[in-house]
Structure 1
Amino acid sequence: MLDTAIARCQALSRAARGLQGEAQSRTLAELEAALEELRGWQIAAVPAAGLTAMLELDLAGYVREWNEGAERMFGYPAREALGQHILFLYDGSEEGGDIAELLLEAGNAITAVRRRKKNGEVIWVHMAISLMHDAQREPVGMRVQLEEVNKALSHAEKLNLHARIIEDSDQGVLITDANERIVSINGAFTRITGYSPAEAIGKTPDLLRSGMHDAEFRAKVQAAMRGAGPWRGEIVGKRKNGELFPQSVTISAVRDGEGRISHTFSLFTDISVHKDAVARMQRMANYDALTGLPNQGLLQQLVAQALAEARRSQEHGALLVIDISRIGAISDTLGHEIGNRLLVEIGRLLRLCLREGDVLARLDGHRFGIALPHIEKREHAAIVAQKLIASLAAPVQIDGQHLQTGAHVGIAIYPEDGEDADTLLRGADVAMTRAALQPESGFLFYSEEMNQRAKEHLRIESELRHALANNELMLYYQPKVSLRSGRIVGAEALLRWKHPVRGLVSPGVFIPVAEETGLILELGNWVMEEACRQIRVWQDANLLMPPIAVNLSARQFDRGLPARMADVMARHGVQPEQLMLEITESLLVKGADKVIAIMNELVAMGLALALDDFGTGYSSLAYLKKFPISTLKIDRAFVIGLPYEENDCAIARAIVTMAQQLRQEIVAEGVETPEQMSFLRELGCDQLQGYLFSQPVPGADFERMLREGKRLAFGAR
Structure 2
Amino acid sequence: MVISRRVSYPFALLLGGMLMISYLLLLLFVAYEGQSRLRAHQDNELTLRVQSYARDLQYVIGRSEKNLRDVAEDKVVYTYFANRALGMSMAYGLGASQHKLSGLLQDNQEGHLREGVPVYSRLAILDVSGQVIADTGQNEGRFVPLPQDILLASSPRRSLLIQPRDQTLLFYQLVPVYRHEQLQAILVAELNPAQLLRLIARKEHQDQASRVQLMTPNGALLAWDSYSTTVDHQREQPIRQEVEIDGQRLEILGWFESLGNRDLFTSNWFIAAISLLAFPVIAGGIVLLRINNNNLVLETRVDLAAQQQQRLAQQNQLLQREVEKRQRSQRQLAYQANHDVLTGLPNRKAGQDALERAIRQARLQDSQVLLMFIDLDNFKHINDTKGHHYGDQLLVQSAGRLRTLMREGDTLARFGGDEFLIILSDVADRGAARGRAEALLRLFDQPFDVDGEAFHVSTSIGMTLYPEDGNDANELIQRSDAALYRVKERGRNGFSFYDAIIDQMARRRLKLDAKLRAAIEQAQLEIHYQPILALEHQQIIGAEALVRWHDPELGPISPAEFIPLAESNGLIHRLGEQVLSTACRQAAEWQALCPLQLSVNVSSVQFHQGERLLAEIRRVLASSALPPQCLTIEVTESLLLGNHKDLNSQLQSLADSGISLAIDDFGTGYSALSYLQAFPFDKLKIDRSFLRHLDRNQADKSLVQAILAMAQALGLQVVAEGIEEAWQGEFLIQHGCQFGQGFYYGRPVPAEAFEAMLRDAPRLSPLPVADAVASRPH
Q: TM-score, normalization: structure 1?
A: 0.48
Which structure's relative contact order is higher, taking Cα pairs within 8 Å and 6+ residues apart?
2
Name whichever structure is richer in helix by fraction: 2
Q: Which has the larger radius of gyration?
A: 1
